[in-house]
Structure 1
């Protein structure tokens, strides 16, 4: 099979089973393997293949070399009631973030608001997942995240990678309606999306990537060359400013490490500052619903284009409906990498 041939199509339930099997074989508990499977496959279902099962090879490799600690227990470093700082101990991020956010949800439900710091976690995946977790509990949430790994993004005005893709997310619940979920990297493309394009053998959009000499390119391999190229911030100085805020608030404020030099190891380390607010405790739930609905109706009121005007989260829900019905496409190269990762922990070749 060539690396650019027809993708493998896998039903979501089967893909979850595969992920659980791989991580169980690697040493994860049943709960950990299940949370990882739900998160990764959930990202694929929503069209974010960069944060889905394509992460399995990196996670397994890091678990095998000890830079990712399986079955780690989240520890609480500071707790003053409405302010919690947790340390992930480079445990698997899909568990560390889930448990930290659950702690914040419980506190915010009681006090009206909670600030949750999660530091030193292995890769926590798609940040919109955590905004959705809060929205499902009826909470508004804001999330600032930094990345300590291989620098991938140049600062505004620069040409060399110095920081990670530093994502930002907001979740806004709506009664009896899907939530508004804003979730994006502060680079023009997430590094994982460039990797997916590389595996698929396709070009990336113009204006997102520089090669090692600082020249614009649409060749995704430039990001992974030696020496590597660099992604650019979205929105020029605006995206760069938000990236700086994610770096310093997401990590430095809560005792985490910033990306202050070249990659030091194989781990992909995230820290995240999350602000959770209960509209019910504020007494503004009805107003939030009414004004959100009025706002959405207004922005979609251009009748001949209403169906083309999307709210944040709409594309993910549409993709999820399609992929639940038709299966999840995985490019051939990524599937081969997943098979190799499975074999490295003793799982026979995947069907």
Structure 2
């Protein structure tokens, strides 16, 4: 179905409230999920709401939790998310990181034991809007692994996102690279599975070790696995995310005993930098503008209308979906409807 973002936000807010959150927390979660849909990242959108609700009702995440300080040492700040909603915990942690970077010129912030952080680009964008550069490394535990290491075909870890965000200039919008280290995000495989579509031919491997484009190998036994982007390169970056997000923060890497707890646990290392730190005489913003102009002047290849920078596709999709609505596949909508009815919502709430 096609649904407007404002109605969708209201529906998801009520769903999350029904699972026990107060209005403010529920709305923060809903706004974050719907924004992901608006930007074209349906993998991190409202299809996650039923899973969140299941964890909230089962007690495998903590409603109303806020980050607490584990250690504080100059530019270093280590926080524990206390398994609260990533949408609220990450916002508060990012606000703390921004304040510290503005005071000290940089901030190195570890955030461990947080329920699903959502689209990591949201936290990078917060930093960029504050005029700061940010780099994010993330790992995931709490559920069975999905991604196989390079050279293997049994899953051992998760999709381990990486993100860097660069502030806007007077001529160009912010640049945001936000990506899974797997060939596609796990949620995109879920979207394909629910929509009855295939995945890219180099994204998955079956339980027999043979590449496949059938997403059911991730959701139906016998399980296969997802593959890294760029072969050994994506695998290498995924291991860096494990070490920096979870090893250095004490959050826990993808060990067997942490991977089957019926929840989603994210750990993140966030490095926030004031671009003026090396001196005001460095023409950082002008250099960005010159780079964008030079790279964008390349003639578009067959099948492309122009060269885009990281963040451009999301801005274009947001404009289109804000105007025309967000498409939700029938299986995802049905799952949301069932979850909503379980917490007291009505059939009319989900009527097309």
TM range (shorter): over 0.9
Aligned to 1:341: 339
Distance 1:22 1:330 in 2: 16
Aligned to 1:235: 230
**1:258-297 equivalent positions in 2, closer than 5 A:** 258-261=253-256, 263-284=259-280, 287-297=283-293
Aligned to 1:330: 328
Residue 69 (structure 1) aligned with residue 62 (structure 2):
yes
Aligned to 1:33: 26
Task: Name stretches of at least 5 consecutive residues in structure 1 with no aligned partner.
Answer: 1-7
Aligned to 2:84: 91
SS at match of 1:174: coil
Aligned to 1:183: 178
The 1:339–1:292 alpha-carbon spacing in structure 2 relative to 1, beyond 3 Å, is: same
Q: Any idea what the Cα deviations from partners look like across 1:102-156, whole Å, max 9, x if unmatched?
A: 1000111111100111100011011111111111111100000001122000000
Aligned with 2:298 (options 295, 302, 309): 302
Distance 1:197 1:150 in 2: 20
The 1:212–1:26 alpha-carbon spacing in structure 2 relative to 1, beyond 3 Å, is: same
| Aligned partners of 2:299 and 2:306 also within 8 Å | no
Distance 1:133 1:286 in 2: 23
Distance 1:182 1:338 in 2: 29
Distance 1:288 1:37 in 2: 36
Residue 154 (structure 1) aligned with residue 183 (structure 2):
no
Residue 144 (structure 1) aligned with residue 142 (structure 2):
no
Q: Any idea what the Cα deviations from partners look like across 1:180-223, whole Å, max 9, x if unmatched?
A: 00011001011110000000000111111011111111111111
Residue 224 (structure 1) aligned with residue 219 (structure 2):
yes
Give the TM-score, by structure 1 length.
Answer: 0.95
Aligned to 2:124: 131
Kindly state the Cα deviation for residue 307 of structure 1 after the two structures are TM-superposed: 4.6
Aligned to 2:14: 21
Kindly state the Cα deviation for residue 282 of structure 1 after the two structures are TM-superposed: 4.0
SS at match of 2:174: strand
Q: Any idea what the Cα deviations from partners look like across 1:89-110, whole Å, max 9, x if unmatched?
A: 1111111111111100011111
Residue 209 (structure 1) aligned with residue 207 (structure 2):
no
SS at match of 1:308: coil
Kindly state the Cα deviation for residue 268 of structure 1 after the two structures are TM-superposed: 0.7
Task: Name stretches of at least 5 consecutive residues in structure 2 with no aligned partner.
Answer: none
Aligned with 1:167 (options 161, 172, 179): 161
Q: Which moved more, 1:340-349 or 1:106-115?
A: 340-349
SS at match of 2:173: strand
Aligned with 1:107 (options 86, 100, 125): 100
Distance 2:151 2:300 in 1: 40
Residue 116 (structure 1) aligned with residue 109 (structure 2):
yes
Kindly state the Cα deviation for residue 244 of structure 1 after the two structures are TM-superposed: 0.2
The 1:202–1:115 alpha-carbon spacing in structure 2 relative to 1, beyond 3 Å, is: same
The 1:135–1:114 alpha-carbon spacing in structure 2 relative to 1, beyond 3 Å, is: same
Q: Any idea what the Cα deviations from partners look like across 1:257-315, whole Å, max 9, x if unmatched?
A: 11111632111110000000012444358622111111111111225669521100111
Give the TM-score, by structure 2 length.
Answer: 0.95
The 1:286–1:30 alpha-carbon spacing in structure 2 relative to 1, beyond 3 Å, is: farther
Distance 1:206 1:303 in 2: 28
SS at match of 1:254: coil
Aligned with 1:56 (options 49, 69, 81): 49
Question: How many pairs align?
Answer: 344
Q: Which moved more, 1:322-331 or 1:220-229?
A: 220-229
| Aligned partners of 1:112 and 1:282 also within 8 Å | no
